[in-house]
Amino acid sequence: MKKINFGAGPCILPQSVFDLAAEAVFDFDHLGLSILEMSHRSQAFVDIMEEARSLVLELMDLDASTYTALFLHGGASQQFAMIPYNFLKKSAAYIDTGVWSQKAISEAEKVGRVETIASSKEDGYKSIPSNIQIEHAYDYVHLTSNNTIYGTQFDTFPSFDETPVIADMSSDIFSRLRNYAAFDLIYAGAQKNIGPAGTTLVVIKKDFLRQVNELNRFKFLDYNAHIKAESMLNTPTVFSIFVSLLNLRWIKDRGLTSIFSENQQKASLLYDTLEKTEWILPFAEPSSRSSMNVTFTIPDASHAALFDSYCKKHDLHGLKGHRFIGGYRASLYNALSLSSVKILTDLIDEVNTHV
């Protein structure tokens, strides 16, 4: 029996995507070859790459004449270094909302001057900073749209006039309608709402590329080199990109409006249940709560043990919180059904009858 997966990533994908990916492992498109053994230079894979990159821009409602999409190696963590390597000349502004933005700041500081213009560190990252403004010009502003560890999320984004804006959207990309055109660069590790672990999506505004640092010495860290090679500067992550394409097709078929509506229903159902349960404490502040990662604690050990036993009994997987803050975390990514969340909330109600 398949478990209900609330894991933060690598995470759940649609069953239809699993089925199609499994078929391709044995025989891709009746070619007599597995997707795992196909050349990345074959026309079959070139078509996969081109469709995946095109579909990304379509889902973001971005014009290919203005933006370009890449599938790269290294996860979002490599982007922490690539971004300042390419674009940090005088100074960059970063918004600190937790571990992942801190890691991005740490890498950028090795390249040049970095200013943290807003932070929620003082409240333990339970909220998104408010009234975020910049006082002078920067090479760019960097933010993390959703914070998986703490369960916080930008509902709307601040505006910075003419300053380029970069967003790490690893954990909430394609989970809702966004004005993606408000950003000059967007990046996301695949293993949440895009596909399996192994590839990283980067979407860049072509005008922003004019600001690339001319002193770049490492070809593999140069966005222009990857664009020129059409995401094939070296052997790409063939299987991960293929499965990402399958999932992107699934997102298109469902539509972002429908996906966003169901994600809101899932989050509302779970948060409402947590709020009315006396032995559970939600972690994030209400105004900053994520629709993707719902974090909470169970202070009483006996209640926690009973909850854990019920989760095991009902085959609920991946609810353990991140090691930095402990507690619990239910990740409600696109492929997790509303009925799965209902099983969790019913379980909490059932525990209530025994405490």
pLDDT digits (tens, 9 = 90+) for 255-297: 999 999 999 999 999 999 999 999 999 999 999 999 999 999 9
Other C-beta atoms lying within 10 Å of the C-beta of residue 85: 23
Task: Identify the pLDDT of residue 215.
Answer: 74
Instruction: List, by residue range, all CATH 3.90.1150.10 domains of the chain.
Output: 256-352
Phi and psi at 333, nearest 5°, equal -65, 170
Q: Where would I find the H helices in the chain?
A: 15-26, 43-59, 75-87, 99-109, 223-228, 238-254, 256-276, 301-313, 338-352
Task: Identify the pLDDT of residue 274.
Answer: 98
∠ Cα 105 109 112 (to 5°): 130
**If you average pLDDT over residues 144-157, what whole number do you get?**
97
Rounded to 10 degrees, the C-alpha dihedral 37/40/44/49 comes to 130
- Topology at the third CATH level for domain 15-254: Aspartate Aminotransferase; domain 2 (3.40.640)
Superfamily name and number for 256-352: Aspartate Aminotransferase, domain 1 (3.90.1150.10)
Other C-beta atoms lying within 10 Å of the C-beta of residue 210: 7
pTM of full prediction above 0.75: yes
Residues with catalytic function: 100, 168, 192
Instruction: List, by residue range, all CATH 3.40.640.10 domains of the chain.
Output: 15-254
What CA–CA distances, in Å, run from 314 to 265, 308, 326? 22, 10, 22
Residues in Cβ contact with 348 at an 8 Å cutoff, skipping those fewer than 6 apart: 273, 274, 277, 280, 307
192 vs 11: CA distance, rounded Å: 6
Is the pLDDT reported for residue 49 higher than 80? Answer: yes
Closest CA to 48 of 65, 74, 24: 24
pLDDT digits (tens, 9 = 90+) for 2-40: 899 999 999 899 999 999 999 999 999 999 999 999 999
Is the pLDDT reported for residue 196 higher than 80? Answer: yes
